[in-house]
């Protein structure tokens, strides 16, 4: 009799969570776990850890926690409690520390200790960049699901389609204006 209650309870919880949120979510916990696994060692060690985590059910538990709890919290509150954190990125021109606080990113260069802040305003659907000294500039504003407003070299805003062709046209516009300014 007890064996029958567990599958029914799991089915009810999953159905309730799917019906109440209707949100895919960012799966921050699962993505952090996968990112950690990719940095453990070489590709053979990473693959062994990957298989071990599937056998032990670490990935299954993290995915279930994301689906049932964390993505629901993210849907209702707008913030995922696991999404914030710190990551070191090795770029071709140096190392950077990227800190996420759930509302934006602080990027610090380990080379010259310069700091840049990227923030997202949910009300305006705008990403902006702030540099030390208090100056802030709008980078991109989402118009709809397929278009954004980006700054043009002349100070105006250009509507750009989110596609390869749209980004190529924007790059060409910026390049030609920069070449004309020389």
Tell me the pTM: 0.50
The answer to whether residue 19 scores a pLDDT higher than 70 is no
Task: State the Cα–Cα distance between residues 153 and 170, nearest whole angstrom.
Answer: 11
Q: What is the pLDDT of residue 78?
A: 67
Quick one: pLDDT band at residue 21, thresholds 50, 70, 90? very low
How far is residue 173's CA from residue 146's CA, in Å, rounded to a whole number? 19
Mean of pLDDT over the chain = 74
d(CA 10, CA 61): 13
pLDDT tens digit sequence for 157-175? 888 888 888 888 888 887 7
- Residue 61, both tokens: 């538990």
Euclidean distance between CA atoms 120 and 32, whole angstroms = 21
Taking the alpha carbons of 27, 145, 22, 121 in that order, is the dihedral positive or negative? positive
pLDDT per residue over 96-113, tens digit each?
887 877 777 888 888 888
- Helices vs strands, H then E, count in the chain: 6, 8
Q: For residue 95, is pLDDT > 60?
A: yes
- Predicted confidence at residue 121, as pLDDT, reads 85
Q: Rounded to an integer, what distance in angstroms lies between the CA atom of residue 73 and that of residue 135?
A: 33
Determine the Cα–Cα distance for residues 180 and 182; give it in Å rounded to an integer. Answer: 5
pLDDT at 179 over 70: no
What's the residue count for the chain? 182
Q: Is the pLDDT of residue 93 over 70?
A: yes
| pLDDT higher than 70, residue 125 | yes
Q: Which two tokens stand for residue 114?
A: 């310069």
């Amino acid at each position: 009799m007890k064996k029958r209650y567990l599958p029914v309870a799991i089915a009810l919880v999953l159905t309730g969570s799917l019906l109440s949120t209707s949100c895919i979510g960012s799966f921050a916990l699962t993505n952090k776990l996968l990112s950690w696994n990719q940095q453990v060692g070489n590709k053979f060690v990473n693959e062994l850890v990957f298989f071990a985590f599937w056998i032990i059910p670490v990935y299954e538990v993290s995915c279930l926690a994301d689906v049932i709890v964390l993505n629901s919290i993210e849907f209702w509150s707008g913030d995922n409690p696991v999404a914030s954190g710190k990551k070191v990125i090795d770029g071709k021109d140096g190392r950077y520390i990227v800190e996420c606080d759930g509302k934006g990113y602080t990027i610090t260069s380990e080379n010259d200790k310069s700091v840049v802040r990227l923030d997202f305003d949910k009300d305006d659907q705008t990403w902006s960049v702030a540099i030390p000294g208090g100056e802030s500039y709008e980078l991109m504003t989402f118009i709809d699901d397929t278009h954004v407003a980006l700054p043009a070299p002349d100070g105006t805003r250009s509507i750009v389609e989110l596609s390869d062709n749209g980004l190529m046209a924007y790059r060409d516009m910026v390049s030609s204006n920069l070449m004309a300014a020389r």
